[in-house]
Amino acid sequence: MAIWKQAVTLGPVAEDPRFPIPGTMAEHIGLRVTEIGEDYLRGTMPVDGRTRQPYGRLHGGASCVLAEELGSIAASLCTDPKQVFTVGLEINANHIRGVTQGVVTGTARPLHVGRATQVWEIRIEDEQQRLVCISRLTVAVVSLKEGKKA
């Protein structure tokens, strides 16, 4: 059974102007939402001049941006946008393997989808499906009416 509260298919998510919003970090890093399943959201990011650190490897901050973007998109799709919105509270990332080129793929899966908070695990893998980074994102669910936790 799907976890999404909004009608979601790959087409609308990938083409929705909210994901990523033009002129934002997600657009800058080249994030592309590529797949949505019953309980996961997947996207890619190139390893290039926008996302490398000075030593030529994927920047840990870029991995965190990919993780937070995918987790945040997924979190928002688990809510009713007429009543609430989601905001990041905490992100944790362990960088496991260096990547110097190609594309990395992140997969966001929920660990907890609650009324006031959500916790997402985001696995980032290289093109050989080797673990590059494992991240955990916690988001708050905030009421639009009161501007506080739902």
Residues designated as active site: 68
Query: In degrees rounded to 5, what are phi and psi of residue 14?
Result: -65, -30
- Which residues on adjacent β-strands are paired with residue 123? 107, 134
Q: What is the total residue count of the chain?
A: 150
Q: What is the CA 146 to chain-centroid distance, rounded?
A: 26
**Residue 66: Cβ-neighbour burial (10 angstroms; 0-12, 13-18, 19+):** buried
